[in-house]
């Protein structure tokens, strides 16, 4: 639908005015939602970014749930565009979304979490969600999200598979790119690493991917963050990293990305003396060898080969127990 400046102004006016007939107002919201959901439409809305966001954000908690859901869906789509993302961050949309979640005054929490995921793809967004610079509040937002992530996973029912907080997994991937985000998960005595590792067996792929990538971020930076010993001393978590690599992947190709992230965790740990000891304690060389024999994903195979080479280099295993790539012979 072609929309000029006059049409857009009318649409925004209809959405803003709660006295407008419901059918007219909801149709205006549907048009805005449709525009936000296409590249061409989002580009058209970008020329009036401030006015569009002002209207959408004003209606996030609208009493009419059709309106509230429509404007929130539009925000999710627009938050994929850097121009809108930057404007939303300036308008403190992350704080507003978290307030709505904490106060339970939104009937569409899944969309709010998706919005938070999009906004935290930038370092600025992740920093805001982590509340960096606010000592008394730092980590509170993530504590709320983690709790709901875990609880919603425990309550998952295949007969009613809706999971409002599944995309918290992707948020965890985003925030653990920052040292403060990793530190939050690795607080001594909190057991959050094991909680995250437990999500590797979740029924939903988005949960498994989020957990695996967050764990990878923690492992990749473990030496730099001085958290290597903390990770390696957590035997249940080390076992959980290896479990999907044991040659019996229940979900096959679907979980290739998950296995690749975990194989990279193992590879990084195998590159350190402390990590090799922790992996040896849970029979990692044997697990890697069995898993490698059945693995077909090239990224997973490369990481397992590298890990095995590190074990071999440091005398942890002999060549007979190390996975080898096939070599074509004439």
* Confidence at residue 328, expressed as pLDDT on a 0 to 100 scale: 44
| Distance (Å) of CA 206 to CA 104, 181, 241, 261, 274 | 23, 19, 17, 13, 31
pLDDT, average across residues 286-300: 92
Residue at 191 is within a domain: yes
Question: Would you say residue 128 has pLDDT above 70?
Answer: yes
Cα separation of 37 and 58, whole Å? 19
Residue at 219 is within a domain: yes
Question: Would you say residue 251 has pLDDT above 70?
Answer: no
Mean predicted lDDT score pLDDT of the chain: 91
Residue at 243 is within a domain: yes
CB-CB neighbours of 223 under 10 Å: 14
Task: Name the domain boundary from 84, 119, 144.
Answer: 84
Q: What is the CATH number of the domain that holds 283?
A: 1.25.10.10
311 touches 292 (CB < 8 A): no
* Confidence at residue 72, expressed as pLDDT on a 0 to 100 scale: 97
Cα separation of 26 and 64, whole Å? 9
Residue pLDDT, tens place only, 166-214: 999 999 999 999 999 999 999 988 889 999 999 999 988 999 999 999 9
- pLDDT band at 156, cuts 50/70/90? confident
CA angle 103, 107, 109 (to 5 degrees): 75
* Confidence at residue 1, expressed as pLDDT on a 0 to 100 scale: 53
Question: Would you say residue 250 has pLDDT above 90?
Answer: no
* Confidence at residue 134, expressed as pLDDT on a 0 to 100 scale: 86
Residue pLDDT, tens place only, 222-238: 999 999 999 999 999 99
- Using only the alpha carbons of the chain, give its radius of gyration: 23
Residue pLDDT, tens place only, 36-84: 999 999 999 998 999 999 999 999 999 999 999 999 999 999 999 999 9
330 and 190 share one domain:
yes
- Structural domain total, the chain: 2
Question: Would you say residue 258 has pLDDT above 90?
Answer: yes
72 and 211 share one domain:
no
**Residue 29, domain extent:** 1-84
Taken in order 262, 118, 146, 68, the sign of the CA dihedral is negative
Task: Name the domain boundary from 84, 115, 141.
Answer: 84
Task: Name the domain boundary from 57, 84, 111.
Answer: 84
Residue at 112 is within a domain: no
Residue at 309 is within a domain: yes
Q: What is the CATH number of the domain that holds 68?
A: 1.25.10
310 touches 271 (CB < 8 A): yes
Residue at 181 is within a domain: no
Residue at 67 is within a domain: yes
Closest CA to 129 of 92, 75, 179, 169: 92
Cα separation of 316 and 274, whole Å? 13
pTM for this prediction: 0.90
Residue at 113 is within a domain: no
* Confidence at residue 321, expressed as pLDDT on a 0 to 100 scale: 57
Least confident of 103-107, 207-211, 224-228, 303-307: 103-107
Least confident of 77-91, 146-160, 204-218: 146-160
Q: Match 């653990």 to its residue by tokens.
A: 176
* Confidence at residue 105, expressed as pLDDT on a 0 to 100 scale: 85
């Amino acid at each position: 639908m072609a929309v000029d400046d006059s049409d857009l102004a009318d649409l925004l006016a209809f959405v803003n005015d709660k006295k407008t007939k419901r059918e007219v107002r909801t149709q205006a919201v549907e048009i805005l939602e449709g525009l936000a959901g296409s590249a061409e439409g989002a580009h058209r809305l970008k020329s009036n970014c401030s006015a569009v966001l002002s209207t959408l954000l004003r209606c996030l908690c609208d009493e009419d749930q059709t309106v509230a859901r429509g404007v929130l869906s539009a925000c999710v789509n627009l938050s994929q565009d850097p121009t809108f993302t930057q404007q939303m961050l300036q308008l403190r949309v992350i704080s507003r979304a978290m307030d709505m979640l904490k106060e339970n005054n939104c009937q569409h929490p899944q969309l709010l979490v998706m919005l938070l995921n999009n906004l935290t793809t930038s370092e600025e967004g992740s920093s805001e969600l982590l509340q960096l610079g606010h000592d008394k509040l730092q980590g509170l937002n993530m504590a709320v999200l983690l709790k709901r992530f875990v609880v919603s996973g425990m309550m998952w029912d295949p007969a009613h598979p809706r999971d409002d907080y599944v995309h918290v997994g992707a948020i965890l991937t985003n925030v653990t790119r920052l040292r403060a985000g990793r530190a939050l998960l690795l607080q001594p005595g909190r057991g959050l690493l094991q909680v995250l590792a437990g999500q590797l067996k979740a029924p939903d792929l988005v949960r498994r991917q989020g957990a695996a990538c967050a764990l990878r971020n923690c492992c990749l930076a473990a030496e730099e963050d001085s958290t290597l010993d903390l990770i390696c001393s957590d035997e249940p978590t080390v076992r959980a990293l290896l479990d999907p690599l044991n040659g019996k992947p229940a979900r096959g190709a679907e979980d290739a990305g998950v296995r690749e992230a975990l194989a990279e965790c193992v590879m990084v740990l195998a590159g350190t003396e402390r990590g090799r000891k922790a992996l040896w304690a849970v029979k990692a060389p044997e697990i890697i060898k069995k898993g490698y024999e059945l693995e077909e994903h090239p990224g997973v195979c490369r990481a397992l080969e590298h890990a095995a080479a590190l074990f071999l280099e440091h005398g942890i295993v002999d060549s007979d127990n190390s996975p080898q790539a096939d070599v074509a012979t004439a």
